[in-house]
Amino acid sequence: MSNEVLNYDKVAEASLVKAQRDGAETMWDRRAAQKTQCGFGEAGVCCRICAMGPCRVSPVPGKGAERGICGANADTIVARNFARMVAAGTSAHSDHARDIVHALHHSKAEGPFKVRDEAKLRRIAAEWEIADADTKETYALAHELALMALEEFGKPFGTQRFLKRAPQARQDIWAREDIAPRAIDQEVTTLMHSTHMGCAADYESLFRRGMRTGMSDGWGGSMIGTEFSDILYGTPTARASSSNLGVIDAEMVNILIHGHDPNLAEMVILAAQSPEMVEMAKAKGAKGINIVGMCCTGNEMTMRHGIKIAGNFYQQEMCIITGAIEAVVVDVQCIFPALPELAKTYHTRFISTSQKAKIAGDMYIEFSEATGLDNAAEIVKLAVENFPNRDAAKVEIPDIKQDTMVGYSVETIIQHLDAVVNSQLEDGLGTVKPLTDVIYAGVIRGAAGVVGCNNPKQQHDYAHITVMEELIKRDVICVVTGCAAQAAAKAGLLTLEAKEKCGRGLFEVCERVNIPPVLHMGSCVDISRILHLVNLCADLKEIDPALLPVVGIAPEWMSEKAVAIANYVVGSGINTYLGVIPQVLGSPNFTKLMTEDVQEFIGAHFVFEKDPIVMVDKIMEDLEAKRVALGI
């Protein structure tokens, strides 16, 4: 085993030693087996889009082949590969959203899929200009709204409805630059078409089309995913939870839910709460049923129910290695295909549930909106029945867990801000005004959205935590989602006590508003919450969000979804810092377009910086320059 030092989180070391003892293979072994990664792929200059190829052009301009057989050069190949990542990422978030909307379309008062946030249902119905949004019968309205949302995926004309949430100045830029996204499926399809052999070759055009597709994720799929999940399962409110492998309980039936979509997770939670299931667990010798979460579905569950977070992306294998998980239940995205094999080393059952992500190796129980609760009950029963098969000799749960606060939706943040609205801020009630006030006053210097995955190209969680700690020290408030949020949870940054790590200004804000300096805003699709928050601030000031001292950061990203996200964040006027360099350096032209030229037409750009400390220095310069430009 190698790379112990690559793990910032102390829990990892013990886990990996145990894995070796148990004869379990982990990502570290497979990473070592990969040896040096391919330099062509790394630079983005390998093309296998057609069967004349694969072609690879020189990753270093001026050396070796400059064109593929069809004549595509590095610029074209890099741009096409990058665009395809955006298309894949957009499709993932958006297809997740579609399932949520389908569930709303299936909803009825008797449940289990039902409207749990009626106010939000009516608010969005009004926003989308449904007549009688405040008086229509709940389920008639829910079904009508769901149908409208489904049309956002395939409507033949027009752009995404949620774009109107942005200030006019930003909407004008989108119109001028032709990046206002149309139907989501159309954007993904047309980008796949553009990147087909012998289609688009102009790298700038490919980049722009990619950005528009990414925009259909952020302002389309992801935003629909977030808002409709809230309607169905409730808008998150601040609550306590706990994080890291220590939340796995040796005396309980442990069910790990991993993936993304709250539909499955919500039904499993419901099923596990039934008294018969709990009785059954007790009859098998367990104290009860302990559901723990991982990755984004973990974020969804913790925000709405306080379900404990077992860990982030990197820890999916470590969870199983504890030997105390009765069932790993997955839906879609970010699930290692290695898991079923690893589960066999222990008594753990691995259950995949989605046609879109069938993972062979153990068990498949298809989950559908029509039979969701029954499917979930079957899964829970299987886990409970598996409890007696646990091998006590193989159980070793690291005794590390950390209390955490989660659930800061935009609505919850505004509620907290309301608590400090007083006579001096008479007109700020129910708005983000107190937040913009402290930013404009310089009490806090700006805000950062820190998001994204883990990637062995960065020390596990180290980049996340370093960036966040350094920023709060410099009075920059952080909002976090995804695996970055879980890194923050494990490091204790999502606590009220974390204010001790802040600069004076942010310390005072945390104390007065009674919030942690790093706010858990949810899963990856919930980056749309961050987008909404920033746009509310910009709208209040009647300016383009590009002028605000805010940045987006993905210190350890790895997925295509992250590429889609980065595109819509930049497209929304927010500079985006990437701690892992995307596979584009083989085209200096494309790299320059991303990191410089795009600024001229969109008002924001990408920054690549592997060193988190250097990154924070660059971010501070960026934020301070924005402040100067605003005259604040």
> Contact, 563 vs 569, CB < 8 A?
no
Q: Which does 245 bind (CB under 5 to 8 A by kind): ligand CUV, ligand SF4, none?
A: none
Whole-number Å distance between alpha carbons of 362 and 630: 58
One DSSP character per residue, 540-583 reads HTTS-GGGSSEEEEETT--SHHHHHHHHHHHHTT-EEEESS--T
Q: Which does 54 bind (CB under 5 to 8 A by kind): ligand CUV, ligand SF4, none?
A: ligand SF4
What is the bridge-based pairing of β-strands 239-243 and 402-406? antiparallel
The residue from 452, 545, 552, 579 that contacts ligand CUV (CB under 6 A) is 452
One DSSP character per residue, 486-501 reads HHHHHTT-SSGGGGGG
Inter-CA distances, 427 with 77, 430, 537, Å: 53, 9, 14
Whole-number Å distance between alpha carbons of 469 and 485: 13
Asked if 406 interacts with ligand CUV (CB under 6 A), we say no
| Dihedral angle over CA of 90, 319, 351, 391, nearest 10 | 170
CB closer to ligand CUV out of 68 and 452:
452
Whole-number Å distance between alpha carbons of 455 and 3: 13
Tell me the closest approach of the beta carbon of residue 629 to ligand CUV, in angstroms.
Answer: 32
x/- letters, 70..99, toward ligand SF4 (CB under 6 A): x-x---------------------------
Asked if 48 interacts with ligand SF4 (CB under 6 A), we say yes
Tell me the closest approach of the beta carbon of residue 70 to ligand SF4, in angstroms.
Answer: 3
Tell me the closest approach of the beta carbon of residue 42 to ligand CUV, in angstroms.
Answer: 20
What is the gyration radius of the CA atoms in the chain, in angstroms? Answer: 24
Q: Which does 565 bind (CB under 5 to 8 A by kind): ligand SF4, ligand CUV, none?
A: none
Say how many C-beta atoms besides its own lie within 10 A of residue 442's C-beta.
Answer: 13
Whole-number Å distance between alpha carbons of 319 and 191: 38
Asked if 446 interacts with ligand CUV (CB under 6 A), we say no
CB closer to ligand CUV out of 225 and 505:
225
Whole-number Å distance between alpha carbons of 255 and 270: 13
Whole-number Å distance between alpha carbons of 318 and 335: 13
> Contact, 375 vs 368, CB < 8 A?
yes
CB closer to ligand SF4 out of 210 and 449:
210
Task: Show the CA angle centred on residue 466, arms to residues 621 and 554, nearest 5°.
Answer: 70
Tell me the closest approach of the beta carbon of residue 586 to ligand SF4, in angstroms.
Answer: 13
The residue from 53, 61, 234, 288 that contacts ligand SF4 (CB under 6 A) is 53
What is the bridge-based pairing of β-strands 402-406 and 363-364? unpaired
CB closer to ligand SF4 out of 49 and 188:
49
x/- letters, 305..324, toward ligand CUV (CB under 6 A): --------x-----------
CB closer to ligand SF4 out of 197 and 250:
197
Q: Which does 493 bind (CB under 5 to 8 A by kind): ligand SF4, ligand CUV, none?
A: none
The residue from 112, 181, 220, 482 that contacts ligand CUV (CB under 6 A) is 482
The residue from 50, 148, 192, 270 that contacts ligand SF4 (CB under 6 A) is 50
The residue from 12, 255, 295, 479 that contacts ligand CUV (CB under 6 A) is 295
Asked if 483 interacts with ligand CUV (CB under 6 A), we say yes
Whole-number Å distance between alpha carbons of 435 and 432: 5
The single-letter code of the amino acid at 510 is C
Q: Which residues contact 134 (CB under 8 A, 6 or more apart)?
A: 122, 126
Tell me the closest approach of the beta carbon of residue 51 to ligand SF4, in angstroms.
Answer: 7
Asked if 453 interacts with ligand CUV (CB under 6 A), we say yes
Select from 45-53, 89-97, 237-245, 371-379 the region that touches ligand SF4 (CB under 6 A).
45-53
Q: How many angstroms from the chain centroid is the CA of residue 461? A: 15
Asked if 47 interacts with ligand SF4 (CB under 6 A), we say yes
Select from 43-51, 306-314, 384-392, 614-622 the region that touches ligand SF4 (CB under 6 A).
43-51
Helix (H) or strand (E) holding 584: none
Q: Which residues contact 619 (CB under 8 A, 6 or more apart)?
A: 448, 471, 476, 551, 553, 577
The residue from 5, 32, 38, 52 that contacts ligand SF4 (CB under 6 A) is 52
Q: Number of residues in contact with ligand CUV, rule: CB under 6 A?
A: 13
> Contact, 559 vs 517, CB < 8 A?
no
Q: Which does 561 bind (CB under 5 to 8 A by kind): ligand CUV, ligand SF4, none?
A: ligand CUV
Positions 492 through 521 that interact with ligand CUV (CB under 6 A): none
The residue from 257, 334, 463, 585 that contacts ligand CUV (CB under 6 A) is 334
Tell me the closest approach of the beta carbon of residue 88 to ligand SF4, in angstroms.
Answer: 18
Tell me the closest approach of the beta carbon of residue 592 to ligand CUV, in angstroms.
Answer: 27
> Contact, 555 vs 463, CB < 8 A?
yes
The residue from 260, 305, 308, 460 that contacts ligand CUV (CB under 6 A) is 260
Q: Which does 160 bind (CB under 5 to 8 A by kind): ligand CUV, ligand SF4, none?
A: none
| Phi-psi sector, 158: left (phi>0), alpha (psi -120 to 50), beta | left
CB closer to ligand CUV out of 412 and 481:
481
Asked if 54 interacts with ligand SF4 (CB under 6 A), we say yes
> Contact, 119 vs 231, CB < 8 A?
no
Tell me the closest approach of the beta carbon of residue 307 to ligand CUV, in angstroms.
Answer: 15
Asked if 561 interacts with ligand CUV (CB under 6 A), we say yes
Asked if 64 interacts with ligand SF4 (CB under 6 A), we say no
Long-range own/partner contacts, residues 123-131 (CB < 8 A, 24 or more apart): 124/227, 124/231, 127/161, 127/164, 128/161
- Which residues make up the interface to ligand CUV (CB under 6 A)? 260, 295-296, 313, 334, 452-453, 482-483, 523-524, 559, 561
- Which residues make up the interface to ligand SF4 (CB under 6 A)? 47-50, 52-55, 68-70, 72, 197
